[in-house]
Amino acid sequence: MPARSRTYVFYQKNNVTGLLSGGENRRVIQANNIALAESCSDDATPASLLASDLNGSIFEVISSTSRETHAYSAYGFNLKLPSPNTLFGFNKEMVDLSRCAYLLGSYRTYSPGLKRFQSPDNLSPFEAGGLNSYCYVSGDPINQVDPSGHAFIKGLKNLLGRQERKFERIKRYNDDASHYNAKAKPLTLRDNARSAADGRVDITKLYFNRETIEQIDQLPARPILSNKDRHYANKHERAVAQLVEDPRESPSYLFTQVLIKKNLKELNRLRREIHPAKAAREVRGHVPESSLPGYWTGRKPRDRFGFNPEV
């Protein structure tokens, strides 16, 4: 009994980049998730250029010696596949040569002739697989695609800018999260007690905590990214920023607010000592002199005691 040869398929970010089977070595050139060309290690087989539609289905393969065209039914059936000139077929999926089917997501095979999967979805019936565990894209192959073999995605909406809008929301969330983290991270509340052994309130510490709470109350709203957008970002390997803990939800924030209300008089007295008001500075002898004359008399206005030395 002859030994079976193994076939190795190479991927990069869920895109097929090469195939190694026995002595055959095929390579795929892709850009922006579009298959552009294929080459073979066999010198007798020339490189081929691939033409595809918006969903990635290959409809023409052109080389220096041949030109091959492909047409598909709604469910992807094509009599010319598998082809010796290309690895791909319907929706840019690789054709399984042994079964004349597509191995979606390296998980289960889809038969375009049968219009169904050949094994059940392990996410059915209560999760994303749907009620029918063998159904392909819920019976809508025109508007939906299913590269994972689990749940379809909205291929037509991607053509209308769905993917760009999702990426823009993810980018906007990351920018807002970075701005929020930069403002919220330095705002940490101190221990209000004088020491670990002494449970009495330290008014000086409480005063600075009061200023911190005033800054916390001025923080912008925490940015929100939906679970669907998070799943989409993870699927397409887009980074999602992590938010720091909201200081308004910490127990010390609520406890410090209670202490501020109880010690409000002492805190106001301490504030007047640390940041004296303008009126207090004037009482101490610092009277700012106006450089503008009076509107009606042309004289400089009197000070707060009604005294004008120039009169």
Examine the fold and report which residue of 275, 290, 305 is the final residue of a domain before the chain moves on.
Answer: 275
Judge whether 230 lies within some domain: yes
pLDDT of res. 282:
44
Please write the tens of the pLDDT for every residue from 201-226: 788 888 888 888 888 888 888 888 98
With residue 58 as reference, give the H or E element that holds it: strand 58-63
- On whether both 170 and 269 belong to a single domain, the answer is yes
Examine the fold and report which residue of 119, 148, 183 is the final residue of a domain before the chain moves on.
Answer: 119
pLDDT of res. 37:
92
Question: Length of the chain, please?
Answer: 311
Domain that holds residue 206: 162-275
- On whether both 100 and 167 belong to a single domain, the answer is no
Q: What is the DSSP letter of 41?
A: S
pLDDT of res. 305:
55
- On whether both 105 and 166 belong to a single domain, the answer is no
Report the C-alpha gap between 165 and 175 in whole angstroms: 15
Low-confidence ranges of the chain (pLDDT < 70): 1-4, 126-130, 151-162, 192-199, 275-311
Judge whether 266 lies within some domain: yes
Q: Report the domain count for the chain.
A: 2
- On whether both 40 and 112 belong to a single domain, the answer is yes
With residue 265 as reference, give the H or E element that holds it: helix 264-274
Judge whether 124 lies within some domain: no
Please write the tens of the pLDDT for every residue from 227-276: 888 888 887 788 899 988 888 888 888 888 888 888 888 888 877 777 66
With residue 178 as reference, give the H or E element that holds it: helix 162-184
pLDDT of res. 133:
81
pLDDT of res. 304:
55
Judge whether 238 lies within some domain: yes
